[in-house]
Structure 1
Amino acid sequence: MNVQSTYPVGGAPDEKAWLKILAKYRTPHAGRSVFELTITAIPFTAFWTLTWLAVHYGFWWGLILIVPAAGFLLRLFMIQHDCGHGSFFARRRFDDWTGRVLGVLTLTPYDYWRRAHATHHASAGNLDERGVGDITTLTVTEYYGRSRWGRIGYRLYRHPLVMFGIGPAWLFLFQQRLPMGMMREGVLPWISTMATNVAVAVIAALLIWVIGPVSFLVVHLPIVLLAGSIGVWLFYVQHQFEETHWSKEPEWQFPKAALHGASHYDLPRPLRWLTGNIGIHHVHHLSSKVPYYRLPEVLRNHPELGEIGRITLWQSLQCVKLVLWDEGSRRLVSFREAAAVARLRNFSSTPVC
């Protein structure tokens, strides 16, 4: 039974109070978790197989099935994501082994990724702790403090073709084959990446042996690349929006950064389901132990949370141009807006492109 939230006179809870309120949603339900895994893995397998059959028998129009196959692969990653937070099953061991198996399909070494992602959650929005598990974001001051080539490099990195095309391909096909950023942090990141690589190689070899190298590349590679690009887009919009939160220590505080530094990406219901409710990202960051299938329940019971950081699908398209954090106005700005800020503050704003 859903009960609408009621609060005493004085308004809604602050960020710290929300932590206590959300605690009651942190319990996963084993039956529901198994059901979610089943209704995601079976359709993915079915669409993958149908795509291959279409290619095998020359029905090239069947390649359109790559789109739903990529969607369900993305949803499998969202389940892996919940496993990484220990929120999918009630037992850590079940979460970890489910995540490791799914990591082979998503080309994401589970234990290595889990550690990097935990760092992201612990430091999101902290200007003093950037660089692990996040999208590189410079301040206006830092950008204009770079050399001409440094600015050009940042512009290229932030170009949509790189950010949502070349970047995801590089990340999932190459970068995650080694424990980048953790090469000297013990054996676990190495075991995670190498074991995943071996499993990926074995499965790829078996599929190539069964269906042939051309069919494998025509079917599987586009599915992986499309799912990866959509995943990076979601991650981008969840943190790269105009009124996000960035601050330096000691001002930075986890509850505030979590609730206001992540968006509520209010997608149409079918897309919300396919993406594992990851758009309710501000609630997820504030209480990452809440299973993704309980996040809509949180919004139903506490509708005021739905208005914090809310971005629609149409509005999210405008986020692409937001590339620099302006510490003066405390918002993300475009390169054009940053140039105007630089002129006002007497920075060097020599054009770089």
Structure 2
Amino acid sequence: MATVVPLVVLWLVLWTLLQVGTVLSSVAFVLLLIPAGGLMVRLFILQHDCGHGSMFKSKVVNNWVGRFLGVFTLTPYDYWRKLHAGHHATSGDLERRGVGDIDTLTVAEYKAKNKTGKLLYRLYRNPLVMFGLGPSYMFLLRHRIPVGAMKEGLTGWGSTLATNAGILIMTLLMIKFAGLDAFLLIQLPIVVLGASIGVWMFYVQHQYEETYWDTRPEWSHENGALQGSSYYDLPKPIMWITGYIGIHNVHHLSSRIPFYKLPNVIKAYPELKEIGYLNFWDSVKCVRLALWDENAKKLISFRDARRLQFASS
């Protein structure tokens, strides 16, 4: 209720402002879209915790609430849950990258690519794509057709088709009662903003300079959780609205801890704040990082990779 009620209230306020149509109401409209997008992230975290079985005691309740929320977050719950479980199982494992993760190349892998491959990877890593076009593509289009899911059985397609049907019904009802303008100018921007904020949070949680990658047998789940996941120190209102997912090292260490109890863990064990600590300015500087340097055991930028190449030539 602490998430749904504020989101519904904000939606109705936005709809009212849309009817007014003055300059002042337009400014207020744009500004209020931002917290509405944040609340969409918090709604996704509720679904996320259902996927980990940590939201409710009952597995059945977790799954059905997760599926219902997936209609609003545009995420096929069962398909996503399996991918996300793979991410937790392989986080920090250099040999099992790409499972529900941000694609990351090593310096050697990048050098081995041809010009087209390098260009495509650079485009993928461009902030406009990573945090703008990419999230919109993922949530609006990619989640509608889970290409490659058939090899995992019918669950991926069944989950997606059921979610798509729910999204269609929700969209038609929204248009019927609020109008097409409200759907296009309120609901879609909220989803797009929420997607971009969510991808930013996910990126920062693993893509920082001193993150952790290793090969087996040296790799371990514990190191991947604590050393490869950040503690993202943000103002308390932002921590709340993003479901405390910035306390990501604790979440990866024990995904059965519900999001609202993560601050309690940090309060009991404040030393966990120091592991993978990032403030907002630290996180902004992470955007330039794109390649894993296996020798230095850290993420570096394309510019740093060029310097290494010149130094070794």
Contact 1:240 1:319 in 2 (8 A): yes
1:157 is matched with 124
In structure 1, the partner of 2:77 is 110
**Could you tell me which residue of structure 1 aligns to residue 228 of structure 2?**
261
1:211-260 superposed Cα distances (whole Å, 9 cap, x missing partner): 22222101111111101000000000000000000111222111111111
Could you tell me how far apart the structure 1 residues matched to 2:218 and 2:109 are?
19
Where do residues 163-178 of structure 1 align in structure 2 (5 Å cutoff)?
163-178=130-145
Find out whether 1:75 has 2:42 as its counterpart. Answer: yes
The residue type paired with residue 118 of structure 2 is R
Q: Distance in 2 between matches of 1:210 and 1:275?
A: 29
Q: Does 1:283 align with 2:250?
A: yes
Counterparts of 2:307 and 2:32 in 1: how far apart (Å)?
46
Residue type of the partner of 2:131?
Answer: F
Counting only pairs closer than 5 Å after superposition, residues 1-353 of structure 1 correspond to structure 2 as 38-58=1-21, 59-63=25-29, 64-346=31-313
Match of 1:90, SS state, is coil
Larger radius of gyration: 1
User: What runs of 5+ residues in structure 1 fail to find an aligned partner?
Assistant: 1-37, 347-353
Write out per-residue CA displacement over residues 168-188 of structure 1, whole angstroms, 9 at most, x where no aligned residue: 000000000022332221111
Partner of 2:148, secondary structure, is coil
Alpha-carbon shift at residue 61 of structure 1 (Å): 2.9
Once the 2 structures are TM-superposed, how far is the Cα of residue 344 of structure 1 from its aligned partner? Answer: 3.2
What code does the residue aligned with 1:76 have? L
Higher helix content, 1 or 2: 2
Cα distance in 2 between the residues matched to 1:345 and 1:152: 23
Letter in 2 for 1:46: V
- Superimposed CA distance per residue, residues 8-67 of structure 1 (whole angstroms, 9 cap, x where no aligned partner): xxxxxxxxxxxxxxxxxxxxxxxxxxxxxx010000011011101111232323422211
CA distance in 2, matches of 1:67, 1:161: 18
Q: Which amino acid aligns with 2:14?
A: T
Distance, in Å, in 1 between the alignment partners of 2:169 and 2:269 is 47
**Corresponding pairs, count:** 309
Residue aligned with 2:57, SS: coil
Q: Do the aligned partners of 1:56 and 1:215 also contact (CA within 8 Å) in 2?
A: no
Residue ranges of structure 2 left out of the alignment (5+ in a row): none
TM-score normalised according to structure 2 size: 0.96
- Please give the per-residue CA displacement for 1:132-182, whole angstroms capped at 9, x wherever unaligned: 210000000000000011111111100000000000000000000022332
* Alpha-carbon displacement from aligned partner over 1:93-151 (angstroms, at most 9, x marks no partner): 11111111111110011111000000000001111111221000000000000001111
Q: Measure, in 1, the Cα distance between the counterparts of 2:95 and 2:148.
A: 17
In structure 2, what is the equivalent of residue 7 of structure 1?
A: none
Post-superposition shift, 1:268?
1.1
Counterpart residue identity of residue 270, structure 1: P
